[in-house]
Amino acid sequence: MRKIWLIIKREYVTRVRTKAFLWGTIALPLLTIGVFAFQIIMSTRQLDHTLKLAILDDNGGLAASITRRLTGKLPSGEPTFQVVKTVSQPASEEQSREELLDQIRKGELDGYLVVPKDAASGTAVEFHTKNPGNITMKGSINRAVSDAVVAERLGKWG
């Protein structure tokens, strides 16, 4: 039995002293933690400029309500969001989407919101942006849309 423990100890020590073991037990977990920390930092960082948005409103009435609810201030005191363009019930939704996407590519817009006709009945609202990783921005827009939809539903029910 003593010889078996000596063999186990020798095998263990020879494995622990290899570079691969050190990489596997120290460097790779640190690298993994670093990747997650980078993602968290990038997704929660503060905005430094007002985001220019457009709203493509097939519903016809939610754009104004959403715009009113997009409140929030940057540390500099400027508004977080500025709705620079509202397209209500476009003749060609596909063409309007392409135009807005082109404006995002050019840097004229930071994103656009697509409000479908039956958004008040629970159909999802789409948000398109160049920087989809900003959780703070998405949260503010989701709250504004949700509050606007609730207000419209309550208005219909009296």
pTM above 0.75, yes or no: no
pLDDT on residue 7 = 86
pLDDT on residue 127 = 87
CA distance 154 to 63: 17
Q: Which residues, at least 6 apart from 111, have a Cβ–Cβ distance to it below 8 Å?
A: 51, 53, 54, 104, 127, 128, 129, 130, 137
Q: Which residues, at least 6 apart from 39, have a Cβ–Cβ distance to it below 8 Å?
A: 133
pLDDT band, very low/low/confident/very high, at 30 (cuts 50, 70, 90): very high
- The pLDDT of residue 158 is above 70: no
Average pLDDT over residues 18-37: 88
Q: Which residues, at least 6 apart from 86, have a Cβ–Cβ distance to it below 8 Å?
A: 54, 55, 57, 63, 64, 67
Strands (E), 12-156: 51-57, 81-88, 111-115, 126-129
Q: Among 60-64, 87-91, 146-150, which range has the highest average pLDDT?
A: 146-150
Q: How far is CA 78 from CA 21, 51, 114, 152, in A?
A: 53, 10, 25, 28
pLDDT on residue 29 = 92
- The pLDDT of residue 134 is above 80: no
Q: Are 80 and 69 in contact (CB under 8 A)?
A: no
pLDDT on residue 27 = 86
Looking at every residue in the chain, the average pLDDT score rounds to 84
How many percent of the chain have pLDDT more than 70?
Answer: 97
Q: Are 53 and 125 in contact (CB under 8 A)?
A: no
